Structure 1
Amino acid sequence: MADSKRTSEPINFVHQDEIWKAHVKAEKHLATVWPNKWGFLTEVYKEYERDSAELKRAVRVELPHHLAAPPATPTEKHIHVGPSPPVPQTTQALIGWRSGHSHLQLEMFGTVHYGKHSFLRELGWPFGSCN
């Protein structure tokens, strides 16, 4: 059907229809032939499903109560969303308008100090001593 989008050549609708009829005829023929040729697979699959269901029932183990997953707690208990500050009236004021408020800043637990200090350097040990 990609050829039907080209506008430089005329489209032969009769030929396109014949191709479609051939495809439909082949699908119908294969649908009638498939059970005789591959129908045994459906029985094997049904046996497999029965066997796997029996194995699942036999292997099912109840977990002790201390290993079972705790019930899910609602997110409202842990996450509190406060009201947002008013939206600025100019587009220039939109840049960083939320970070200007202390309660909305991303670093609410302090600034990040990754990589500033080395434990080995503080102890005066060589860097290869802890492998």
Structure 2
Amino acid sequence: MAEAQRASEPVNFVHQDEIWKAHVNAEKDLAEVWPKKWGFLSEVYKEYERESNNLKKAASAEPPKRPLTPVGPSPPVPRTSQAVIGWRSAHSHLCLERSAMVHHGRRSFLKELGWPHQA
């Protein structure tokens, strides 16, 4: 409803022009002051851009050679649909956890406080 009232109000073109001039003058003044206050950022950005381009050139030149870990022949995939997920984890030589299994201790807050389980 407020928009309908705004559309019917007369437009003050002189006032809008003054507002526009103020914005343009503020932009112009800030453009003159910016290099003095924040000019160091442009130098830092140019340095960052140079380093970034050098890294991109180095990365695109030759991918790093990584030694492939020999996994060995995989056993055949089981025929049942329920056994497809996790079929490799059943074999110890194909297990992803190389060092040890992760064990999380089970603690009870009630047991630590000495309270009964019904509490």
Normalised by the length of structure 2, the TM-score is: 0.44
Q: Which has the higher contact order (CA 8 A, sep 6+)?
A: 2
